[in-house]
Structure 1
Amino acid sequence: MGHTVEVEVLTKQGCHLCEEAVAVTREACAEFSVTFIEHDITEDATLLASFAEEIPVLRIDGRVRDFWRIDPQRLRRLLREATAGS
């Protein structure tokens, strides 16, 4: 049994790039039957300190994979690779 792929989108309120990132991530994750979590960085001081200038940030299995604009093709490739071992 493979591991569950953990996909996170770090966002903050009123960020239009964040809304786009969540939409792109939702669509790509649905294709791979992967759920994702949206974290508002303003609710977590550690995330806010680390990522305030980079959001939205895409993390897969805890590793930052993209920020500002999420590339749908790249995201699909990363998800394909991440789910291949499951």
Structure 2
Amino acid sequence: MSADRVTLYGKPGCHLCDDARAIVTQVCAELGVGWNEIDITQDEQLFKEYGEQIPVTFVDGRQHDFWRVDPVRLKRALTT
């Protein structure tokens, strides 16, 4: 698996984060792409920045989506 290209910002107990995690896990596994998850409750600045938008996904260091992850759109971002 390659270096992490996708970052998912979320927090525990967030059902949208759970949904996003499942999609990110599936898409990244299909494409052999690494990903990581960051708990925004562990960083005051991240919580202030993304607290109302989670889950937030980044691809290659750029914000990709928030609230929902579209698997087709994520695949496209990772393959183009």
Could you state the TM-score of these two structures normalised by the residue count of structure 1?
Answer: 0.86
Which digits, 9 at most, give the CA deviation of each residue in 1:67-86, with x for residues without a partner?
101001100100112xxxxx
Contact kept? 2:7, 2:36, Cα under 8 Å = yes
Write the letter of the residue equivalent to 1:44.
D
Distance 1:78 1:61 in 2: 9
Paired residues of 1:21 and 1:69 also in contact (CA < 8 A)? yes
Q: What secondary structure is seen at the aligned counterpart in 2 of 1:6?
A: strand
Counting matched residue pairs gives: 79
Deviating 4+ runs (over 6 angstroms): none
**Alpha-carbon shift at residue 37 of structure 1 (Å):** 0.3
Please tell me the residue identity of whatever aligns with 1:39.
I
Give the Å deviation of 1:65.
Answer: 0.4
Structure-2 residue corresponding to 1:61: 60
**Deviations, residues 4-30 of structure 1 (Å, cap 9, x unaligned):** 452100010100000000000000001
Give the superposed CA RMSD: 1.4
Aligned residue for 1:16? 15
- Which ranges in structure 1 are unaligned for 5 or more consecutive residues? 82-86
Seen in structure 2, the aligned counterparts of structure 1 residues 80 and 5 have a Cα distance that, compared at 3 Å, is farther
Question: What CA distance in whole angstroms lies between the structure 1 residues aligned with 2:61 and 2:19?
Answer: 21
